[in-house]
Amino acid sequence: MLEAPYPELDDLLKMMGEAGRHLAEIEASEGAAGNISVCLRSRKDTGTVWHMEPRTRFPLISEIELPQPVPELAGATFIVSGSGRRLREIIDEPAANLACIVVDEGGKTGKLYTSYQRRFERVTSEFNSHLAVHYDQMMATGTNFHAVVHAQPLHITYLSHIPRYQDEQYLNTHLLRWQPETIINLPEGIGFIPFEVPGSSALMAGNVAALRKHRIVIWSKHGVMARSDISIKRAADRVEYAETAAKYEYLNLGVNEIGTGLSRDEILAICKTFSIKQNIF
């Protein structure tokens, strides 16, 4: 949930660009892999009005059907990456790589706002998952802002190919043991969903369920999706925390697991000091 003064359109575009560039820097977005979106809305019931005019950057308007009806989000604005676009290039030309969608009354269709520089035909093929997760979180928490990112960090994706890391308890007790910050930043641990075809409704349903319980979820043999109701950069940070944890784990596998990581008692002491509620250790 954001408090006024709210970020302007250009501020959001810049933050999406910075998040995209950083995901590329940490090797989580090769080629055109990964996609990014934010959703913002007014909350008339609580008197919070957040108006944004997409036409200043995205003057072309067309009508699209939304992947699922989102009636309660009528009037909400999404900013989302275009299909086949590179996350690392958003920062140079945000309007060429991103689109705005404003949800119509009834929630079945939206106005798609794009720029004359637009370099894509459609928004990302994972928009069904982005929309469903935004919708679920906004309904559950009442937030006026929500950010989602999908990226493909090398080490965490590699570990998702190893059967024993496909067990959530094993995964979390092994990944969250390497740095004190990890349990603080990901107290619900990392979610895990089995392999599903990219863009499928099964992947979408898996994301909604896993991101209800976790701030980040691994898509087995593919990548991760992370969320935040503070900023898109915070969502990208969650990808980086999980990937760093996976890097330690990968290093340890390469030396016959001679590292022990933080002990359960050490992690419990950290949680006590920082008042972290968790049920992994």
Choice between 107 and 223, CB closer to Zn ion = 223
CB of 86 to Zn ion, least distance (A): 13
Q: Output 126 or 262, the one with its CB closest to Zn ion.
A: 126
Output 54 or 153, the one with its CB closest to Zn ion. Answer: 153
CB of 111 to Zn ion, least distance (A): 27
* Residue 122 token pair: 């459609």
Do 66 and 107 contact (CB within 8 A), yes or no?
yes
**Backbone φ, ψ for residue 123 (5° rounding):** -75, 170
Q: Single out the segment in contact with Zn ion by CB under 5 A; choices: 10-18, 185-193, 201-209, 215-223.
A: 215-223
Shortest spacing between CB 151 and Zn ion, in angstroms = 8
Residue nearest to Zn ion (CB): 223
- How many CB atoms are located within 10 Å of the residue 99 CB? 28
Please give the Cα distance from 108 to 34 (Å, whole number): 26
- With contacts defined by CB under 5 A, how many residues of the chain interact with Zn ion? 1
Give exposure, 26-50, as e/b (b: 16+ Cβ within 10 Å): bebbeebbbbbbbbbbbeeeeeeeb
Looking at the Cβ atoms of 84 and 180, the one nearer to Zn ion is: 84
Nearer to Zn ion, 36 or 271 (CB): 36
Cα–Cα distance for residue pair 128/140, rounded to 1 Å: 18
Contacts to Zn ion from residues 13-72, by CB under 5 A:
none
Give least dist CB 218 to Zn ion, A. 12
Rounded to a whole number of angstroms, the minimum distance from the CB of residue 202 to Zn ion is: 15
Q: Which is nearer to Zn ion, 76 or 236 (CB)?
A: 236
Alpha-carbon torsion angle 121, 20, 215, 49, nearest 10: -70
Is residue 186 within 8 A of residue 216, CB to CB? The reply is yes
Ranges within 216-275 binding Zn ion (CB under 5 A): 223
| Smallest gap from residue 165 Cβ to Zn ion (A) | 19
With 0-12 / 13-18 / 19 or more C-beta atoms within 10 angstroms meaning exposed / middle / buried, residue 190 is: buried
Residues that bind Zn ion (CB under 5 A): 223
